[in-house]
Structure 1
C-alpha cells in the first residue's frame, strides 16, 4: 500500500504541471475524487486555494476541500476527519521547515502517515514534495539563492529530496550529497517522482525536464538519470 506523487516544481496555474495533475487524479481510481488541499507552507494563501479549485476542481472534476491551520481553531478530530476522508491529499509549496513545525504541533504528520497506509494518494509540489521524504534540501524561499536549510520530512520515502533542481544554485545539492548517507532524488520543475507500494516511476509534463538519483559511495557521488515510465523497485 502507499501512493505518493512528489512534484519538483512548476506553475500550476499556467498548466505547466497539468499532465502530472491529471495523473494524480487518475491515481486515486475515483471518478470525482475528494481532494484535500493543504496550503500551510504558503501561509494558507487564498490565491493558491483558488488556483487549486480552478485546476483540480473545475478542470479535473475533484471535490475540493482545504485544510487551514494558520489562525484557525480547527480541532484535532476535525483535522483527522478531513485527512482520512479524502481520496487525494495535495500539499502546496512554500516554507517547508515552518510547515513541518505546524504539522507536528497539530498532529497533521501523524494523520498523513495514517492516510498513506489507507492508500490515499499523497501528492504535492516543492515543499509538498519534500515532506514525503526523510529529509529535504530547501532554498530558504530566496529566488536564486540556495542557502542550505535541512528540512525533516515524514519519512514515507527513503531518501533526501531536492526540488527545483533545474534552477540557478542547484549545485548546492550536489555538494551536500558529499556528506549525505541517504540516497538523493533531485527533481527539476515539471517532473514528478511517483511511489506505489515499494516501486517508483517518473512522470513529466515537460519532456526536457529530468529526475536524478544520487548515492554517496564513501565520498564519491554516483549521479544517474531516472527516466523509467514504468514502475521499478525503489531502494
Structure 2
C-alpha cells in the first residue's frame, strides 16, 4: 500500500499524554496513516528517533502508543549502528515514516552519513508517507529555525529540500521563532516559509501544500513571503481532525 502520489505531513504535534501511558498518538499521527490509504490490515509505521539519539525510553513510549493505536511499529535506529541489515528495504516496507523531534542539525548529519537522506527521497517518490514533528518536520524542507545549536534559535539551511520552502515549527509557543523566520524570508534565505502552531500539520502532495489540519482547536498555519521589501504573513485556518478514541 502506498499513497497515490508523494505525500508529506509536516507537523508541530502528534502526541499527547495518556491516562495510563506517557505518550499516545494523537490525531496527526492517525492522519498520516489515513493519508497512506492503508486498509484491510494493521498499518505499518516506521519510528525514526535520530533527533533524540535513538533514546530507548522514547522508543519504548512510542511503541506503547503504537500498540494502543493498533499500529505495527518498527524503530529504525542508527546509534550505535543501524539496527537492520537493509535500511532502504525497511523504510520502503512501511506505510508511514514518523520522525521524532529533537536536534534537526544532528538528524541531518547522521542521516547523510548513513545515506538515509537519499533513502527518504526514494521512499517519498514511492508513496511512503513521510511525516513527523518539530525536527521531524523541518528536515523535509530547505530548513528553518532551530535550537539545535543552543538556547538561542539559529537557522538551519541544509534540510533535505523535498519541499522548497522554509519551515517554522512551534510558531505560537516559542516567541523567538516568528521573528527569525521573518528575518530569513526578508534576507532571501527562504523565498517562502510555511509555519505551524502547536497541534497543526501541513499536508503536501508532491511539493504543493494542499491542506492544513489540526488536532487542537483554534490553531492555524502561516505562509510567510516577501512582497517587494515587505515581509507578509498569511494565516491559514486548519481543519480540525477527530480525536482518536482509545
Question: TM-score, normalised to structure 1's length?
Answer: 0.88
Q: Which residue of 2 aligns with 1:112?
A: 120
Check 1:68–1:4 CA distance in 2 against 1; reply closer, same or farther (3 A cut). same
Q: Is the 8 A contact 2:220 2:238 kept in 1?
A: no
Q: Which residue of 1 aligns with 2:133?
A: 125
CA distance in 2, matches of 1:190, 1:141: 24
Q: What SS does structure 1 have at the residue aligned with 2:176?
A: coil
C-alpha distance in structure 2 between counterparts of 1:156 and 1:227, whole Å: 24
Structure 1 regions of 5+ residues with no counterpart?
Answer: 231-235
Residue 223 of structure 1 corresponds to which residue in structure 2? Answer: 233
Distance between the aligned counterparts of 1:196 and 1:13, measured in 2?
30
Q: Distance in 1 between matches of 2:112 and 2:50?
A: 12
User: SS at 1:152's partner residue?
Assistant: coil
- Alignment of 1:34 with 2:38, yes or no, is no
CA deviation after TM superposition for structure 1 residue 150, in Å:
1.4
The structural deviation recorded for 1:168 is 2.5
Which residue is equivalent to 1:49? Answer: 59
Partner of 1:159: 165
* Stretch moving more, 95-104 or 213-222: 213-222
Name the structure 2 match of 1:213.
Answer: 223
C-alpha displacement at 1:116, in angstroms? 0.5
Offset, 1:53: 1.5
Larger deviation, residues 132-141 vs 25-34: 132-141
d(CA) in 2 for partners of 1:47 and 1:89? 19
Q: Which runs of 4+ in 1 moved over 6 A?
A: none
* CA drift at 1:11: 4.5
Describe the superposition over 1:104-155 as per-residue Cα deviations: whole angstroms up to 9, x where unpaired.
110000010001011111000000000111222212375xx44213142111
Alignment of 1:7-156 (within 5 A): 7-9=11-13, 11-14=15-18, 18-31=26-39, 32-55=42-65, 57-74=66-83, 78-140=86-148, 145-156=151-162
SS in 2 for 1:207: coil
Size of the aligned set, in residue pairs, is 226
Provide the aligned C-alpha RMSD in A: 2.2
| Corresponding residue SS for 1:158 | strand
1:5 is matched with which residue? 9
> Where does residue 244 of structure 2 map in the other structure?
none
User: d(CA) in 2 for partners of 1:203 and 1:169?
Assistant: 23
Q: Equivalents in 2 of 1:109, 1:67: separation in Å?
A: 14
Deviates more, 1:30-39 or 1:190-199: 190-199
